Structure 1
Amino acid sequence: MASLQFVFGASGSGKTEYCIRRALLEAEKDLSRNVYYLVPEQDTLAMQKRIVLHKENKGKGILNLDVLSFQRLFYSSFTHLNRTVPKTLDEMGKLMVLSLVSEQLKKRRGRKEREEGESWESFSSTATLSYFQGEVEQLGFLEECKSLISECMQYGIRAEKLYSFAQKLKKNVSKRKIEDIALLYHSFLSWMTEQEKYTEESIAALALENIEKDPHFQGAYFILDGFTGFTVSELHCLEFLLAGENQLLLSLEVRSHEEGNLYDKGDRSSLFYLTKNAVEEVESLALEKKAEILPSINLNCFDSVSGEKRKKGVVYPRFEKIPALQKVLDSYAFSSEGKEQEGSLIPPLGITVKECPDILREVQEAGNFIHHLVKDCGYRYRDIAVIIPDIASYRDVLFSKWKDLSIPFFLEEDITLFDSPYVKVIRAAFLVLERGFLFDTVFRYLRAFPYRTAEEEEIVDCWENIARAKGWKGKTAFSSFLSEGQEDRRAYRDLASLLQFYERNTSGRGSKEAVLLRERVESLVQLITDCALEERILSSLSFLKEEGMENREESYQRSIEEVQEITERITESLGDIPLSGKSFGKIFELAFSLEKLRQIPATLDQVLVGDLTRSRFHNPKAFLFLGCGSEFLPKKFGKTIIFTEKERELMREEGYRLSPLSWEESYIEKYYVYRAFLTPKEELYLSYPRTLRNGKGERASSYLRDFCALFPGLKIRIAENEKMPVYNALRGKEELVLSLPSLCRTDHIFVEKEELFHHFKLDSFRLLHYLWNKEAYHEETERLLSGIFFANRTVDLKKETALQLYGELIQGSVTRMERFHSCPYAHFLQYGLALKERKTSEVRAFDIGNLYHKMVELFFKRFLKKKGEEKVWEAAFQEALSENVNQAVEETLADPAFQRFLTGGRNQYLLRKLRFNGRRILWALGKQILGGDLRPDAVEEAFQFEEEGIFLRGRIDRVDRYLDQSENTVYLKVVDYKSGKKDFSLPAVYQGLDLQLPLYMEYVLERERKKNPSSRIVPSALFYFTMENPVLSYKEGEDYEKARLKALKPKGLVNLSEEGLSHLEKDGAEESLLLPIQKKEGNTEEKGSLVSEERLLALLHFAKERMLEGAMRIRDGEKAITPIRKDAENTACTYCPYHSICGFDQDLPAFRFRELDKREEEELWEEIVKRADEKKGERK
């Protein structure tokens, strides 16, 4: 007769010790009787080792004692009966099948409307997807759907049952969703039946039939340890075992004051609900099979070794060296959670709680604690375990910081194939097949190959620059890279292989046409072979070993084997199925997303790092729990894609057993946290970061606060308030970096000998002395000191070097000279070293400005032929706006430089917007012209400036001219168009930052004097005009035409002479709509933009001298890193592309912005006029 006996006990009470001793005892009693020790899959190897090395195991071996998981038990039944295990579809196979059947259902020509009360047979054979028609394209939906179908198979829920349940629902959305899942579920099972394929769930069903007949599982002794609950298939297995003559011993965790509530399942929020549920399920099976239920063994009351009754107040064996955890065992999450308990104010022995400023410091502090345990307490690394709730947030920091600290550790996580460099190349090739030859897809593929030579990388860089600048798309464009004579280059072969792969999958049939999957897989294998991908990946992995990441190196090596196995499995299972190129890529994408690279520890003596629920730690001496902050705990359980919480509750009410709801998951998580707190034998270390990596604030989690409330004397230590220990030279260097700068600032220079001696007694200087004299770190220490005492020391070029760089003649445009005055170093990089940003085909801000320039230029050139005919200007302007704007835009777009505006939806939209804005701009320019007497005389006039050692060229956007024949006077105006906001600033001219307008006007005046030597030449105005369509705020009753004109007024200087003003604007209103001036009681005064002709001419001379001065400084080799601050928001660094080269940082000594001259404008004008007068005197 079968029997069932429970072993109850809290964590640390010795349940596993009791089970092992019982297993060894039963095995020794009768060697012909089998003893099976069942544990969760991840515990099998560790438990085997523990049993073999146990002190009660005299022979240090196992004969009739075997350690199994349920999965291994199922497969062993096939071996015992000499039956072949059917080939099964793994999770990857399920996902691919689900993708295929969903595609078939989408193509099914079913009814659009589903009939009420339709039979299941009719529905399953004719219906199409209704609610999830679009979602089946998404990987996340397919993964969740696969998990849901697996749940249904595990818990014995049939597709027709789901359909019947859907018919009872009143809510149409829920009904359609469940019907779709039932349809997918049925189609999945139908495909499996047709293809004679099995899943793990169906294998379990076959195995259960074997177990019933297997003599090895008759009259055996089964011990189940480490379980918190059982799946349906595991319960079925227990049911079969209880039907035979087997004895079952089941250990479950429960603390003493919960024992009386073991059969109370009503409260799902109970910490031990899982235990209660398992007891109820297994006991009901025993009663059903009429097995004997033996009295339970309570290790909360009796010692697991001696069997003696426990004395009150005596701690459990595990907590002898950390007795404070006994209080956690008895009181955590019970009655008074979150409230401070009464007790000693003495800090509990062996418990450390630390608050750190961020994750980086938290990992570093944990590493220091591990070093302390190993170096000061005699621990081995294998005696230490670490748990992290969210490994993804800590992974890279762990590898970085613990490598520096020389801590060997094994991160217990599965690496996805997506991380493998081998798979990255394959996925990139699939992306080209799916989207075509685009810039991003092609260079993602080319960049995916690891570690080419510098010469090969330079070829790819060159290709990228060309393709980016030309905006290449399509196979033909990229084929032009394959020029003759380059066949031996790897980059050539990689691109050629990609083109052949694309041809094989599209030529003559198109990627959308269905082709046998087998043929498409052959083309992929050929691509891998042509690129010699395997050899290149293997040769590139050596650096991982050097970085101390042997586990990852091995995983990446195995990824190659995994991909080869995937291609074989796909070909074998689905090779004869026709599918499109898009589906081809999708199949492999699904496979790669599910396949995991299991890691094997490279050595036994290393720290084990795991997560909260999956990892199993066998009571290490020290246990570190990182990430105990509110962001990670309690975990935020995400919403399911398929069923809402309410829908899952409805299904549960109907008796359909599915996975726990989100609120139940949170209570289960609390149980795992409770178990984690009770894991160590000697040391428990808890920590959390105050700030996350995204800058978000963090505080201690509710779990940690509840824990701390149990110990009034336990104080949270603040990491910043404690000095970190120095365990190696690298850590010493880090400490120096933090402490030396504050001691070595120039204001801390030591004067007295006694003061110097005092400071050299500091730990920082002791470290400095130690590292300086250590040969391996001497050079690095010297660089560290150089960095601390770094100053921005200006070292100019030698004149000979400057001559070689710039030549004897300084050439360029006025912009070059403005660049020099803005920052000499930026000028040196741009014009000396000729560093340039990469060209791109994308439309950028200056492209829009150039288009506006070209459009305005072409528009006004049409009127130059009719200049002077005032009636034509007045009458035809509005008509020209409607006709000539479109013509100007079309002519502009005919220019190859603007072809990029014609491609892409975004650029097309931008072009329509520019047409509209162009009309507004030309309307405003027309109003400004027609408002005065001056008319466009030249558009895009060539500008030249030549003096000794300097030759500048440029284009003047527009010159307006008016000849007053009665006075024989010519009035001139220079207008420069700007695509961004630009204001005229006298301090900027004074510093040499704004020289264009004065120099252009000087050139125009000189030209006009030569042309009309007998006429008086008057500079009327210098203007910047911003080409924009300003957004106006709404004001009721306001004249928006005037408001727009006012917003588009040009900025600059205006000659205040009455004659000049009258020709610039005929309407003499108090506030001008066309000029940047304002009259007071009809009078003008020299203020702001209004200046006298004397000052205007003086400014032109000053600008010329400032430019010549800059040219001389360039020839002298000046290249100081001295950018200028233009205003509160703009500096020379604001849009500078060279910041990563110069490293300008105001926090470093001698890095400071130059400031504009802060003097009043009147003082600046006086100095400008004075300097002009001095120059005139010198000429005389």
Structure 2
Amino acid sequence: MSFKLIYGRGGSGKTKEIYEEIKRRRKEVPERSMILLVPDQYTFRAEQKLLKELGKENVFHVTVHSFSTMIRRILQNAGGATHNLISDLGKSMLMTKTLTDVEEDLVLFRNVARKPGFVELAKNLADEMKRNNLDPEKLREAVVSSGDAELTQKFGDILLFFEAYEKEVHKGHVDSMDEITFAGERMEKADFLKNAEVFIDEFNDFSLVQLSFIEHLMRNVKRVVMTLTMDKDEETGDVFQITKDTEDKLFQAAERAQVSIEKPLILSEEVPLRFRENKELAHLEREYFRYPNKTYNEVPQSVSIYKAQNSYDEVEKIALDIRRRVREDDTLRYRDLAILCRNIDAYESILISVFREHEIPVFLDKRREMDGSPISQYILALVDIAKEGFTYDALFKLLKTGLSHLEKEEVDLLENYILANGIKGGTYEKPFVYPYPNIVPEEMKAEYLEKTNEIREKIVSVYQPLRVQLENASTTEEISAALYEHLEEHGVLNRSLSFVSSLKDLEVLKEHEETLKGLITIFDDLVEVLGKEKVSLEVYGDILQQAMVSHKIALIPLTLDQVILGDVARVKSDNIRGLYILGVNDGVFPKTVSDEGIITDHDLEKLKAEGLSFLVDSKLRSVYEQFLVYTAFSIPRDFLAISYPGSDLDGKSQRPSLVIGRMKKLFPKLMENAYVNPMDRKSGTLEEVESKVATFNELIKEMRRNYQGDEVNPLWGEVYQWFQGHEKFSRRLKISREGLSYTNVTEKLSRTSVKELYGEQLYLSVSRLERYTSCPFAYYIQYGLKAKDRVMHEVTAPDVGTLMHEVIDQFTEDLRGMERDLSTVDKNYIRSAVDRLVDEAIEKTNAIYKSSPRYKHMGEKVKKIINRSVETITAQIAKGKFVPMFNELGFGKDGEKLPALSIEIPDTGEDALLRGRIDRIDVMEMDGKAYIRIIDYKSSAKDVSLQDVFYGLQLQLLVYLDVVLRNWESLQSQKAVPGAVLYFKMDNPVISGNVRMTDEEIERKVLENLRLKGLLLKDAKVIRSMDEDIDTFSLVVPAKINKEGEVVSSSNRKEKNEEIILTEQEFGVLREYVLDTIGRILKELFDGNISIQPYKDKDKIPCTYCTYKSICQFDGKIKANQYRNLKALTIEELWEKMKKGENAVE
């Protein structure tokens, strides 16, 4: 019995030497059997290579094994195969259950014990402890001996769940580490090994359990031969530290096994076998980790570096290079090329998309997650529904998989209703009664409600029986059986397969088939591992979700000729001629190793001080990352192309890896190629003419260059003609050609279209006119096309404002019915009445204010605001002679006291009718005149700006004033004049002050804070009638009486170039100007102007909160998109222009 090592650097021919050795030994000792032991992922390739190297006549005498298949064979041959092996998936399930069972006893990890991420960490830690033959008692002794309280607490938790987990595993199973141990112990009884030689290849390190197995091999087979990637040259630093450690452990095992050590074979040629035809790659392999190193002083042809703009550009460049190389070299096949990176998840979708576009076959060498698949989400949602009922999240997670028995339109119809009315899970058993939301016409709401109830019944009929069945199930087996029966009985599995088949993507279909197999495996393992265990639905759901996260599916290549795409850690040299390594950024390649996880380096150091070492620290993991760099550089035999993105897809800068700098030192004449902006480079050449789709996309770029007047290679004219003649591309080409001249500039609507959209007779509110002035296109979308946001069961700012308006209006009406007015009520009455009215109003809102603690709090807050507002209103009225005459006075609709305001639309012979509702009209009679004060309630601060009036952005109060003044005699049979137009902010302000403030001082502060804002008549008597206590300052209106007895503003509006104190004549000017402005606005609207032209007043634009931005795609940087800039005007300029009736709308 003997042991032999074959040493060699990467590419030195170690694997080839192993095959040669097998071939020699077959001739020398034909009676012996030969076994090749390789990692799991290389068994298939190893079998292919053996067939090629040994031929058909010899290959049947050589068996390729991985650890798992060899162990199985030993146990079957020597006895012991009756053990029930738990799968990795089963271990995840048991760890989930274990952590749930011990959760309350944990100290440090209690709050994270049931999170999927922690479950995986805990399972991996348990595996690592088993791989390294860790004795829990020795660990416990080392921890106690350390005297470290934090360490004691942490490892107390670890040992608690580890020992509980081990007990669960061994109730009826063994894990793979146990199986290795059993196989080692029974190996001497395995007849097929007694006359065998074992050759071990492609391994760099082993766990202690695997080393023990190899030690048993040394004792029981004739000979063990193994390759190790390493060099005795100390100048290479730590790069071979891992394999050097493995070498030491192997010699120790051989010594314990008492086998002879053969003379090692050291493949030490100056130029490794793989690189004999490529001196540049040979130089890279030899010198990269050598200190000091030699430089390669010629211009390299086989090594390149590319600095991409971003990862998409990086992959695009690689795709073009692959197409070029395969086209130019008849001997090069896609299978000869590989693409590696260290962060495959970041590149996966880009690579698949770009390579499909370039028609390059690619195989992703990665185990894929299945928990995000539609069928997985459907099953998890079933459990959620059983646990929680028909909650929105659970039900629509299920419905949106597309695997239910409902049509997509039915799902949308139901979702709109549920979101608008806040339907909870427990209400599905009874018919829905709330009306369908306002996204459908009023006359269709009953029909839509009926349809919604039909959908509800479909859901209940299918899923309610399952809910009952799952609630009554007590064991894992019963729950699993119920779920699987549902999938079959209701055709979910067939629907899933039919949908994927319709995509006509073979790889997606294979992935789906593997997902279904994976789900069956999960259910089988659930029954096998936990079948009779009694579990709650909550725990079952946790176990099921963790199983789906843990279980990865693996695909095999669909064809032999594919580019291999994978992680540096998985892909080994396999006759790869060309290698692309992408993502060579700082911290990515090599990967920065962080000291994170359950056990830290600090913990390991403390345990090592107590004589216990069982885990790899971050330093050794960093060495492993360097070893991966070396391994990757040793893979190709023809060329190596390295690339990195200069920024991420969001434009954030990314630094290159230190690898880039090191490469440049090794190859001083190596030029780094960089991304060239398509707008800066010359027109494309034959390099871009590759696959149809990719070339078509390049053609579009060239068409854009030509459209912009840049010089274009004549070649692209021929390419254009080629695509023009192909039906598949000609239509797309036409659309692209039209898109070159596309702008989002709108065309005017015809008069016919205007009337179809808005009606033969135009009815408008003032707020709609202001909306049109802000942006004609937004008005068109909102009121012409009637686009609506999805109605949600939530309280918005407008909802709160409407509620407050209704309550204040009802409060005033109630007083009028009692023949009382606001000036006669006290605070106690106000509070009791307001609370009652708010409660009544809330009852009419689908109980939304009772649906959550947040909304309940909001309801209480609304009460306080209205209470404070009504108290302030009564105080303001009590201070003056103006009395409320009308509340919520409507005009323009049938049954209302005032007619619509008719506005002639210039040059059309048409007119429009304005309608609205005035919050409050106060009146004060003096000298035979009725002075009118218009009050508008707002839930946020607002003031009147003459500049906004001039530009048509603020018309409401002045229109209301005009409507009242022109109709007053029909209401009260007396002459009316303007007194004021004012806003009142409904609020419960926070008052700053000190604790010694009296109630009167607080009240004064509140009044000051909620003072009315707007325009006032320049008449001292009128102003005193608004606040009889006015002197130097008013708590009611923003005015004061100066020493000369004149009314002046008490605000700082004058300094801001505004005016709020107006004469009666100036009010008249404003009224006339506003009516003229409305006529002009209506003319623009009637003429079909729907231009995307929002206003801009300094930094203020209506786009900030506009919900239609995604429709108009307005961009102020584009020449065709321009704001309607509002020029700042002085008071004098404003009055001059308004008196002249100048047009500020167009």
TM-score (norm 2): 0.89
User: 1:131: how far off?
Assistant: 3.7
C-alpha contact 1:1056 1:1091 (8 A) present in aligned 2: yes
Is 1:499–2:464 an aligned residue pair?
A: yes
Is 1:30–2:4 an aligned residue pair?
A: no
Counterpart among 111, 115, 133 of residue 156 in structure 1: 133
User: Quick one: distance in 1 between partners of 2:142 and 2:923?
Assistant: 87
1:941 is aligned to: 889
Deviation string for 1:895-922 (max 9, x for gaps)?
x127212111222233344444445544
Q: Does the C-alpha gap of structure 1 residues 505 and 720 become closer, same or farther in structure 2, counting only changes over 3 Å? A: same
Q: Does the C-alpha gap of structure 1 residues 792 and 88 become closer, same or farther in structure 2, counting only changes over 3 Å? A: closer
User: 1:435: how far off?
Assistant: 3.0
Is 1:957–2:925 an aligned residue pair?
A: no
User: 1:40: how far off?
Assistant: 1.4
User: Quick one: distance in 1 between partners of 2:766 and 2:598?
Assistant: 65
User: 1:576: how far off?
Assistant: 1.7
Matching of residues 282-321 of structure 1 within 5 Å: 282-300=250-268, 310=269, 314-321=270-277
Q: Does the C-alpha gap of structure 1 residues 335 and 492 become closer, same or farther in structure 2, counting only changes over 3 Å? A: farther
Matching of residues 367-378 of structure 1 within 5 Å: 367-378=319-330
Is 1:177–2:149 an aligned residue pair?
A: no
For structure 1, which segment, 1120-1129 or 624-633, has the greater mean C-alpha deviation from structure 2 after superposition? Answer: 1120-1129
C-alpha contact 2:388 2:425 (8 A) present in aligned 1: no
Deviation string for 1:783-819 (max 9, x for gaps)?
2221111244543333333333332222343222323
Q: Does the C-alpha gap of structure 1 residues 367 and 808 become closer, same or farther in structure 2, counting only changes over 3 Å? A: same
Is 1:133–2:81 an aligned residue pair?
A: no
Matching of residues 714-753 of structure 1 within 5 Å: 714-720=670-676, 725-726=687-688, 727-741=690-704, 743-745=706-708
Deviation string for 1:1120-1176 (max 9, x for gaps)?
233322424443433333333333344555332223355444334334334499xxx
User: Quick one: distance in 2 between partners of 1:784 and 1:1021?
Assistant: 59
Q: Does the C-alpha gap of structure 1 residues 664 and 822 become closer, same or farther in structure 2, counting only changes over 3 Å? A: same
Gaps of 5+ in 2: 434-447, 893-899, 903-909, 1049-1053
Q: Does the C-alpha gap of structure 1 residues 543 and 354 become closer, same or farther in structure 2, counting only changes over 3 Å? A: farther
Q: Does the C-alpha gap of structure 1 residues 11 and 1110 become closer, same or farther in structure 2, counting only changes over 3 Å? A: same
Is 1:405–2:365 an aligned residue pair?
A: no
User: 1:84: how far off?
Assistant: 3.7
User: Quick one: distance in 2 between partners of 1:1036 and 1:494?
Assistant: 60
For structure 1, which segment, 1066-1075 or 207-216, has the greater mean C-alpha deviation from structure 2 after superposition? Answer: 1066-1075
1:465 is aligned to: 416
SS of aligned partner of 1:826:
helix
2:654 is aligned to: 698
For structure 1, which segment, 881-890 or 351-360, has the greater mean C-alpha deviation from structure 2 after superposition? Answer: 881-890
Q: Does the C-alpha gap of structure 1 residues 199 and 532 become closer, same or farther in structure 2, counting only changes over 3 Å? A: same
SS of aligned partner of 1:572:
helix
2:952 is aligned to: 992
User: Quick one: distance in 2 between partners of 1:780 and 1:84?
Assistant: 63
Deviation string for 1:146-169 (max 9, x for gaps)?
122222222222333333333324
User: Quick one: distance in 1 between partners of 2:81 and 2:277?
Assistant: 52
- Give the % identical residues: 25
2:1136 is aligned to: 1166
User: 1:335: how far off?
Assistant: 3.3
Q: Does the C-alpha gap of structure 1 residues 1047 and 96 become closer, same or farther in structure 2, counting only changes over 3 Å? A: same
For structure 1, which segment, 438-447 or 927-936, has the greater mean C-alpha deviation from structure 2 after superposition? Answer: 927-936
| Structure 1 letter corresponding to 2:569 | T
For structure 1, which segment, 465-474 or 1002-1011, has the greater mean C-alpha deviation from structure 2 after superposition? Answer: 1002-1011
Matching of residues 240-319 of structure 1 within 5 Å: 240-244=216-220, 246-258=222-234, 270-300=238-268, 310=269, 314-319=270-275
User: Quick one: distance in 2 between partners of 1:1037 and 1:706?
Assistant: 73
1:305 is aligned to: none
For structure 1, which segment, 98-107 or 897-906, has the greater mean C-alpha deviation from structure 2 after superposition? Answer: 98-107
Is 1:67–2:15 an aligned residue pair?
A: no
Matching of residues 797-836 of structure 1 within 5 Å: 797-836=749-788
| Structure 2 letter corresponding to 1:528 | L
1:612 is aligned to: 568
Is 1:780–2:756 an aligned residue pair?
A: no
User: Quick one: distance in 2 between partners of 1:204 and 1:38?
Assistant: 14
Counterpart among 882, 885, 892 of residue 841 in structure 2: 892
CA root-mean-square deviation:
3.3
User: Quick one: distance in 2 between partners of 1:904 and 1:486?
Assistant: 28
| Structure 2 letter corresponding to 1:470 | N
User: 1:245: how far off?
Assistant: 5.0
2:1051 is aligned to: none
User: Quick one: distance in 1 between partners of 2:503 and 2:759?
Assistant: 49
For structure 1, which segment, 1097-1106 or 362-371, has the greater mean C-alpha deviation from structure 2 after superposition? Answer: 1097-1106
User: Quick one: distance in 2 between partners of 1:1051 and 1:376?
Assistant: 79
Q: Does the C-alpha gap of structure 1 residues 845 and 346 become closer, same or farther in structure 2, counting only changes over 3 Å? A: farther
User: Quick one: distance in 1 between partners of 2:705 and 2:813?
Assistant: 65
C-alpha contact 2:280 2:296 (8 A) present in aligned 1: no
2:486 is aligned to: 527
User: Quick one: distance in 1 between partners of 2:989 and 2:303?
Assistant: 65
C-alpha contact 1:851 1:898 (8 A) present in aligned 2: no
1:91 is aligned to: 88
User: Quick one: distance in 2 between partners of 1:484 and 1:837?
Assistant: 19
C-alpha contact 1:159 1:183 (8 A) present in aligned 2: no
C-alpha contact 1:222 1:249 (8 A) present in aligned 2: yes
| Structure 2 letter corresponding to 1:185 | F
User: 1:285: how far off?
Assistant: 1.3
C-alpha contact 2:474 2:534 (8 A) present in aligned 1: yes
| Structure 1 letter corresponding to 2:841 | T
For structure 1, which segment, 619-628 or 244-253, has the greater mean C-alpha deviation from structure 2 after superposition? Answer: 244-253
| Structure 1 letter corresponding to 2:95 | L
User: Quick one: distance in 2 between partners of 1:766 and 1:1033?
Assistant: 77
Q: Does the C-alpha gap of structure 1 residues 931 and 319 become closer, same or farther in structure 2, counting only changes over 3 Å? A: farther
SS of aligned partner of 2:564:
strand
Q: Does the C-alpha gap of structure 1 residues 786 and 484 become closer, same or farther in structure 2, counting only changes over 3 Å? A: closer
Deviation string for 1:679-732 (max 9, x for gaps)?
111111111112223543201012332233322222221112667731234334
For structure 1, which segment, 816-825 or 196-205, has the greater mean C-alpha deviation from structure 2 after superposition? Answer: 816-825
Matching of residues 141-152 of structure 1 within 5 Å: 141-152=118-129
C-alpha contact 2:339 2:565 (8 A) present in aligned 1: yes
For structure 1, which segment, 488-497 or 280-289, has the greater mean C-alpha deviation from structure 2 after superposition? Answer: 488-497
User: Quick one: distance in 2 between partners of 1:44 and 1:760?
Assistant: 52
User: 1:595: how far off?
Assistant: 1.2
1:903 is aligned to: 851
Counterpart among 592, 597, 620 of residue 664 in structure 1: 620
User: Quick one: distance in 2 between partners of 1:904 and 1:1147?
Assistant: 44
Q: Does the C-alpha gap of structure 1 residues 495 and 381 become closer, same or farther in structure 2, counting only changes over 3 Å? A: farther
User: Quick one: distance in 2 between partners of 1:808 and 1:222?
Assistant: 93
SS of aligned partner of 2:289:
coil
User: 1:49: how far off?
Assistant: 0.8
User: Quick one: distance in 2 between partners of 1:869 and 1:588?
Assistant: 67
1:304 is aligned to: none
| Structure 2 letter corresponding to 1:560 | L
Q: Does the C-alpha gap of structure 1 residues 530 and 694 become closer, same or farther in structure 2, counting only changes over 3 Å? A: farther
C-alpha contact 2:143 2:607 (8 A) present in aligned 1: no
Is 1:439–2:392 an aligned residue pair?
A: yes
Counterpart among 1073, 1097, 1100 of residue 1071 in structure 2: 1100
| Structure 2 letter corresponding to 1:427 | L
Deviation string for 1:193-240 (max 9, x for gaps)?
4x3212111111221123122122224222211111111221111111
Q: Does the C-alpha gap of structure 1 residues 245 and 579 become closer, same or farther in structure 2, counting only changes over 3 Å? A: closer
C-alpha contact 2:1092 2:1112 (8 A) present in aligned 1: no
C-alpha contact 2:935 2:984 (8 A) present in aligned 1: yes
2:375 is aligned to: 422
1:188 is aligned to: 165
User: Quick one: distance in 2 between partners of 1:477 and 1:440?
Assistant: 14
Deviation string for 1:66-107 (max 9, x for gaps)?
221222211111233366453211122112223333444457
User: 1:253: how far off?
Assistant: 1.2
User: 1:1036: how far off?
Assistant: 13
2:501 is aligned to: 542
Q: Does the C-alpha gap of structure 1 residues 1080 and 485 become closer, same or farther in structure 2, counting only changes over 3 Å? A: closer
1:12 is aligned to: 11
1:110 is aligned to: none
| Structure 2 letter corresponding to 1:473 | K
User: Quick one: distance in 2 between partners of 1:334 and 1:1066?
Assistant: 95
User: Quick one: distance in 1 between partners of 2:821 and 2:498?
Assistant: 79
User: Quick one: distance in 2 between partners of 1:517 and 1:451?
Assistant: 24
